[in-house]
Amino acid sequence: MYFTVETAPHHRMPLYKTILCVTCALLLIVNGFSLFHNLQALRGAQVLLSQTARVADRLQYLNVLVLDAESSMRSYFLSDRDSYLGPTRTALADSEAEFRELEKLLADNPSQLKNLTQLHTLVRRRLSIMSQAIDVYRDGGLQEIVNIAKLSDDRASMDEIRLQVVIMEQEQNETLTTRSAMFYKEYQKAVWLGVSINALAILVLVMFYQLVRRSFAHRAAVEHALQSANENLESTVQQRTEQLSVLSRHLITISEEEKARLSRELHDELGANLTSISMDIAAVTQQLRSTHPELAEQLKRARGTLVETVEMKRRIVENLRPSLLDNLGLCAAIESYCEEFSRLAQVRCDCNVAADMESLTRDAGDLSIALFRIVQESLTNIRKYAKASRVTVTLNRSGDGLMLRIIDDGIGIASDTIIKPMSHGLLGMRERALLLGGNLNIRRGRNETGTCIEVAIPLRPQRDGAAPPVRVATPMPTLPPAISDVLNSVLHPVADDQTPSSPPYSTRPHTPPSLSDQAR
């Protein structure tokens, strides 16, 4: 199964969603500018209202200054004390300051400035009359003041001042009413505009929320569908993996059975045919040795070729199914293979097999062949790739199972090589371990150099009271003496006739097989 690693295409947001987002943003921006403008307008109206109120207050204060000055002057006339002249003396300066402030406040109102000028003239004239009256009092006394009061009309001048102040206050009140109405109108306008823009923005936000909710629901449905697809894919992958694993184990079992069957057929049928040919060649050679030595010599060479064929057959049989594994057991087969590996690869190979391994694996044919194949594949890989100088093979009891370790001091195995799909040897070793209910672990060797292959195989418990089956050796049939002599002469030629080949890789160096073994 293949998975793409290409980057996902970039999806743009739909146009209507973009338009809604831009519209909502524009509405919020317009609302912000509108609120700022309305706030400035309300602030200006508030300033105008405050200005109108300040004008009214200063007019009242100016009227109070004139009245206080007149009252202090009369008190001075009655008591003849200068302490009562304080408000009269400061009235002119205070009134001038108030008029300057009023001119600033009424700068945008020409009619009020005209009234302010008239009021300024009246107040100045009245304060001047008061100053002259004080001078007359100091020169002529109270009687002169009384005479002057009989002749002058002071009340009229004060009434003019009061009237002018009232007129200006009335105009200010009218201005205040007008500005208050404008302020209320601007306030209403600002409120309605803000409410309208906010309502429109809320409507757009609601529409956008509906779109987001639909998109979220669609995304949730897509994620749910993707999750379901992933779960189905994972279950399918797991199912396929289990099927492939079962198939691999089945193929391993079938392969071993086929190898065993082929080994038996080669050993029995081909061995019998080669033995028959050897017997015929030996008989003909004996007859032609005296009469036709040339033919006898050709038959002698043919017999040598036949012996090599027999040796090649034996190697093929040993490759298919080690005879030591069936005859002497797993321990002898592993030790013999380690010795042969050390001799051929010129690498030191230490084999350490526990003494009780033979009794534990004697009746488990699948366990024996699996462990032997794992050792065989491991040593083959070490010979090809590891560049090791020392190898250690250990098989012993570990808890309720067996522990097989193959350790070398070579270059090690890269992590990507372990999981590479084409590592058929490692996968086959792992599948053989899984076939027996165990597991295979590959890690770094001693001192973080080389490779250590660990295979843990659980032992199957035997039933209570059940004794292990006893293997009974089948007696070999005896052959006639003539046939035995012929076979011995064919299969064991003298040194000048044939150069013997090297012993098979899976067996120890040992004496040639007997006549009975060859016949079988």
CB 105 within 8 A of CB 54: yes
- The whole-number pLDDT of residue 66 equals 82
Q: CA torsion, points 330, 325, 506, 458, in degrees to nearest 10?
A: -40
pTM of the model: 0.46
- 3 state SS of 348: strand
| Sign of the torsion angle spanned by Cα atoms 364, 368, 369, 371 | positive
CB 486 within 8 A of CB 283: yes
Q: What's the one-letter identity of residue 103?
A: E
Query: How many whole angstroms separate alpha carbon 492 and alpha carbon 483?
Result: 14
Return the structure tokens found at 334.
């592993």
HEC letters along 214-272: HHHHHHHHHHHHHHHHHHHHHHHHHHHHHHHHHHHHHHHHHHHHHHHHHHHHHHHHHHH
CB 339 within 8 A of CB 346: no
- 305-363 residue pLDDT tens: 888 888 887 778 777 777 777 778 888 888 888 998 999 889 999 999 887 777 777 76
Query: How many whole angstroms separate alpha carbon 491 and alpha carbon 279?
Result: 10
- 3 state SS of 393: strand
Whose tokens are 């060859």? That residue is 518
Query: How many whole angstroms separate alpha carbon 513 and alpha carbon 282?
Result: 19
Query: How many whole angstroms separate alpha carbon 338 and alpha carbon 331?
Result: 11
CA atoms within 13 A on the CB side of 110: 0
Q: How far is CA 126 from CA 114, 186, 223, in A?
A: 19, 44, 94
Query: How many whole angstroms separate alpha carbon 119 and alpha carbon 160?
Result: 9
- The whole-number pLDDT of residue 144 equals 64
Query: How many whole angstroms separate alpha carbon 444 and alpha carbon 412?
Result: 7
CA atoms within 13 A on the CB side of 263: 18
- Residue 305 backbone dihedrals phi, psi, to 5 degrees: -60, -40
| Sign of the torsion angle spanned by Cα atoms 413, 418, 421, 422 | positive
**pLDDT tens over the chain, length 520 residues:** 444 445 555 556 667 667 777 777 787 787 777 777 777 777 777 777 787 788 888 888 888 888 888 788 778 777 777 777 788 778 888 888 888 888 888 887 788 888 888 888 888 887 887 787 777 777 766 666 666 655 455 667 677 777 878 888 788 788 778 877 877 887 788 788 878 877 887 887 788 778 778 887 888 889 889 988 988 998 888 888 778 777 877 787 787 778 778 877 777 777 788 888 888 888 888 888 888 888 888 888 888 888 888 888 777 877 777 777 777 888 888 888 899 899 988 999 999 988 777 777 776 767 888 888 899 889 988 988 888 899 999 998 887 888 999 999 888 877 766 666 556 778 888 888 888 888 888 888 887 788 999 999 888 654 444 434 333 333 333 334 433 443 344 334 433 333 333 333 333 333 333 333 433 3
CB 65 within 8 A of CB 235: no
Q: Annotate 396-432 with b (16+ C-beta within 10 A) or e (fewer).
A: eebeebbbbbbbbbbebbeeeeeeeeebeebbbbbbb
Query: How many whole angstroms separate alpha carbon 494 and alpha carbon 141?
Result: 182
Topology alike, domains 15-214 and 328-458:
no
CB 64 within 8 A of CB 78: no
Q: How far is CA 267 from CA 17, 283, 511, in A?
A: 82, 23, 19
User: CATH for 328-458, among 3.30.2130.10, 3.30.565.10, 3.40.50.720, 3.90.1570.10?
Assistant: 3.30.565.10
CA atoms within 13 A on the CB side of 183: 15
Per DSSP, 383 falls in state I
Architecture of domain 15-214: Up-down Bundle (1.20)
Find, among 200, 245, 208, 174, the residue nearest to 26 by Cα.
Answer: 200
What would the DSSP string read from start to end of 440-500?
EEEEE-GGG-SEEEEEEEEPPPPPTTPPPPPPPPPPPPP--HHHHHHHHHHHS--TTT-PP
- Map out the domains of the chain as residue ranges: 15-214, 328-458
Rg of the chain taking only CA atoms, in angstroms? 63
